[in-house]
Amino acid sequence: MVKEGVINNHATDNWFGSKANMVHIHKDLQKSFIIGIKSNHTLALSENDAKNGWYEQVRALELEEDIIAHTVWLKGLGSP
């Protein structure tokens, strides 16, 4: 189901936002994606932070309220 959605460019919500699905979409299907993520996901807000292993859980981040989207590096995914 995930593969068909990616091929056909379907919008998705965070129900598909598991790490396994994101790895599959990014590495196996070689596609980019926009998916809401849950507060327990661990991420870095910059490539430099990711390279240095500086990851935080979403719930611990202090994000600006007027910015609704961020490019992030998910731990274990390797790229934004």
Rounded to whole angstroms, the Cα distance separating 61 from 73 reads 14
pLDDT on residue 51:
94
pTM of the complete model: 0.64
Q: Cβ contacts of residue 76 below 8 Å, gap of 6+?
A: 19, 23
Q: What is the pLDDT of residues 21-69, one digit of tens each?
A: 888 887 888 887 777 778 888 999 899 999 999 999 989 988 777 777 7
Task: Please indicate whether residue 10 or residue 78 has the higher confidence score (pLDDT).
Answer: 78
